[in-house]
Structure 1
Amino acid sequence: MKEPLYQHIIMDLKQAIIAGTYPPGSKLPTELNLSETYGVSRITSKRALVELENEGIVIRVRGKGSFVREKAVVSQSKTIKKDVLFILPFPDNTTVGNYAQGMFEVIQATHYRLQMQPHQYLSNLDVKDIVERYAGVIFYPRNNHDDIELLYRLHLFGVPTVLIDKKIDQLPFSSVMANNEQGAYEATRHLIAQKHQKIAFINIDAIGKKSSVRDRYFGYLKALHGYELEPYHFEQLDPNDSQFLMTLCTELQRLNITAIIAENDVLAIQLINALKKQNVSIPKDIAVIGFDNIQAAQLIEPHLTTVAQNFEEMGSAAMRLLLAELDETSIEHDQVVVPIQLIERASTRNLKEEDDVTND
């Protein structure tokens, strides 16, 4: 694989400093000058200057530019970073899908290496540590708010970054997501086709906190609207509070809810277990659909109907986007949407079947 373009700029500037073209204290070309000279993006030229600053060769002064340090020690050896960092939201990645398999399939043909770490890993790092250690980052945000500062600083440092599962509108990053809206739309249409009319959508955090969950909610609303059905929405839950879940399940029964679409499979399984404790039969009394198709969806009884995300394809797409940025074959920030698939199992049923039995 060819040398990243920012490294080419770094080597040229180092040679010019050694040759005396840029003596100590002199000003280097600006990001704009370098981007025009080399035909690259401002992100690439900025990263070259940031790398020189990290090596102690230049000092960058806000509003004035980049200057050669008075006692700069310049090494002409290349320091090409080979590690790509993949940040997962939780220590246990079994609940977020097998993205890594798709990433490995793409990265193994390159000189880069994939390093996976849980979100907690970041608590021991400064942003500059990431800049110094990693060629680029694939980031799975926990939500759309908590990591804004870190992600924006990665952007300011010019670190190639791709988001997975969520899109954060304020940040100029490429992203890869499942077609969440279409997934929830198809799940809701499936329940409506089974004659359900009181269908609840249940999510954990406030609906605006995660773009992926927000899109699922919009798909649910879109499907209901087409049949003039009323939404039943429950959010800001504590799924680890068993008493809270029991209270919620009691409320669902009071409202005569016959079907639930949960934010994800983990929540769907927690709801099924809580409903069972209240002697609610799944799916006879209440049908349940999850989202993700994690392994546990086939271990719960009854097996969970769910919307499957193609995690491997999402991982592959994220890695392809990142490599394109690293190799400067693309400077566009692309938004890739991966198709979903409704997997029908035993946690849903057709209400019409009961009507037919009753009429007989």
Structure 2
Amino acid sequence: MKKQPLYQVILNDIKNDILTGKYETDEQIPTELELAERYHVSRITSKRALAELENQGFIYRLRGKGSFVKEAVARKVSGNKTDILFIMPFPKDIGFGNYTQGIFQAIEGTPYRLVVQSHESLTQESLAEIIEHYAGIIFYPINRGADLEMLYSLYLNQMPTVILDKEYEGIEFTTVVSDNQQGGFEATNFLLRTGLKKVAFVSSQPIMEISTVRERYLGYLKALHLQKNTSKTLFEDSGHETMGNFVDDVLDQSLNEGIEGLVAENDLVAIALINQIKQRGIAIPEELSIVGFDNIQASELLEPKLTTVGQNFTEMGLLACQKLIEQIESPLPLCETIVVDVDFIERETTKKIKR
């Protein structure tokens, strides 16, 4: 972990004192000179800390008199609500991205604490309790329909909320997402550059319901378009009882249609495909190439190792928490969509690019 700049240490200490009630509304905080002497720093450093506190809406400054706690901040943090809730939909043992690592980085040096709750325990009844007890929420939705009502309730109650991974039009919350379209493009473009002519996109859920999957599919279409390849195929689950049944159908159709490569919606779908392909005795990547999405831990432990698109989960968690804290502490928070870059990771389930 990087050592914090001295001005940031001062800023965090004063912010903590305000949030925990040491300083009340309109109460004066230490001056530039007093802070410089207390922390053994220059007045330039202490002045920067106070300027940042003013920019973040914690204090107001009166020329010749000093710096004072803003009323809006004191009102927002009344009741010492310093717990941030991360609603996480997938089990801890799935090997999925470490969002929490980034969140912990964001709250270091602040009074905030992280609480993680599974999506399964979230109900409309528990929502009122969450709004009462938490300072803000980082929400990772499962799908648009199931979570729309809850997110809108949070919005109507003016609950500081940041959404991870998916976008919800019509609800003004900051969203942090990966560059899913670029990832879908890079995965497809790579397969085409290895000499494949017939590449299909595989989704275990309706692409129109999930913004992340839809963006990956658009990236797939873009790559085909730029390569002037008109052989597009979408395998979209239309209600199979199990993932195994869906994968079987995908492989049957792929073999019948001469598909040479598959871009999977995510690593879990890709792994299911690989396991079934191996059972059928089909050579990977000689007969069929596979690319996943997410770079979960299992993708590298698999035999053969999965070529995939990596998301920067830590960076996403960090940015989501930083933006949430801004919402909590700002009287007029800015809502925005933040797109985080992805990385294409070449492993063993794809051929080498032809030179």
Task: Judge same fold: TM > 0.5, yes or no.
Answer: yes
Partner of 1:186, secondary structure, is helix
Residue 261 of structure 1: how far off its partner (Å)? 0.3
Structure 1 351/163 Cα, relative in aligned 2: closer, same or farther at 3 Å?
closer
Partner of 2:349: 347
Partner of 1:335: 337
TM-score scaled by length of structure 1: 0.75
User: Where does 1:37-48 land on structure 2 (aligned, <5 Å)?
Assistant: none
Partner of 2:310: 308
Partner of 2:172, secondary structure, is coil
**Distance in 2, Cα, partners of 1:239 & 1:104:** 39
Residue 123 of structure 1: how far off its partner (Å)? 3.3
Q: Which runs of 5+ in 1 are unaligned?
A: 13-37, 52-77, 354-360
Partner of 1:85: 85
**Distance in 1, Cα, partners of 2:327 & 2:235:** 40
1:270 is aligned to 2:272: yes
Partner of 2:112: 112
**Distance in 1, Cα, partners of 2:19 & 2:335:** 18
Which of 237, 244, 249 in structure 1 is aligned with 2:251?
Answer: 249
Structure 1 188/241 Cα, relative in aligned 2: closer, same or farther at 3 Å?
closer
1:258 is aligned to 2:254: no
Q: How many pairs align?
A: 294
**Distance in 2, Cα, partners of 1:347 & 1:239:** 27
Partner of 2:55: none
**Distance in 2, Cα, partners of 1:84 & 1:268:** 34
User: Where does 1:76-225 land on structure 2 (aligned, <5 Å)?
Assistant: 78-92=78-92, 94-123=94-123, 125-225=125-225
Does the 8 Å contact 1:284/1:349 carry over to 2?
A: yes
Q: Which amino acid in the other structure matches residue 113 of structure 2? A: R
**Distance in 1, Cα, partners of 2:243 & 2:267:** 17
Residue 352 of structure 1: how far off its partner (Å)? 5.5
Q: Which amino acid in the other structure matches residue 104 of structure 1? A: F
Structure 1 239/196 Cα, relative in aligned 2: closer, same or farther at 3 Å?
farther
Does the 8 Å contact 1:86/1:116 carry over to 2?
A: yes
Does the 8 Å contact 1:95/1:266 carry over to 2?
A: no
- Relative to structure 2, which stretch is displaced further, 141-150 or 213-222? 141-150
Residue 234 of structure 1: how far off its partner (Å)? 0.7
Partner of 2:286, secondary structure, is coil
TM-score scaled by length of structure 2: 0.76
RMSD: 2.8
Does the 8 Å contact 2:152/2:171 carry over to 1?
A: yes
Does the 8 Å contact 1:188/1:223 carry over to 2?
A: yes
Residue 301 of structure 1: how far off its partner (Å)? 1.0
Q: Which amino acid in the other structure matches residue 234 of structure 1? A: F
Residue 335 of structure 1: how far off its partner (Å)? 1.0
Q: Which amino acid in the other structure matches residue 147 of structure 1? A: D
Residue 216 of structure 1: how far off its partner (Å)? 0.4
Partner of 2:293, secondary structure, is strand
Q: Deviations over 1:32-65 (max 9, x none)?
A: xxxxxx99xxxx98xx69x9xxxxxxxxxxxxxx
Q: Which amino acid in the other structure matches residue 210 of structure 1? A: I
**Distance in 2, Cα, partners of 1:186 & 1:242:** 27
Residue 196 of structure 1: how far off its partner (Å)? 0.8
**Distance in 1, Cα, partners of 2:298 & 2:312:** 16
**Distance in 1, Cα, partners of 2:151 & 2:20:** 23
Structure 1 239/115 Cα, relative in aligned 2: closer, same or farther at 3 Å?
farther
Residue 278 of structure 1: how far off its partner (Å)? 1.5
Partner of 2:218, secondary structure, is helix
Residue 239 of structure 1: how far off its partner (Å)? 8.2
1:232 is aligned to 2:233: yes
**Distance in 2, Cα, partners of 1:345 & 1:327:** 44
**Distance in 2, Cα, partners of 1:255 & 1:317:** 43
Residue 246 of structure 1: how far off its partner (Å)? 1.8
Q: Which amino acid in the other structure matches residue 320 of structure 1? A: Q
Percentage of matched positions with identical amino acids: 39
Q: Deviations over 1:164-207 (max 9, x none)?
A: 01111121000101100001111111111101110010011111
Q: Which runs of 5+ in 2 are unaligned?
A: 1-11, 26-58, 61-70
Partner of 1:201, secondary structure, is strand
**Distance in 2, Cα, partners of 1:123 & 1:251:** 40
**Distance in 1, Cα, partners of 2:306 & 2:331:** 42
Structure 1 88/190 Cα, relative in aligned 2: closer, same or farther at 3 Å?
same
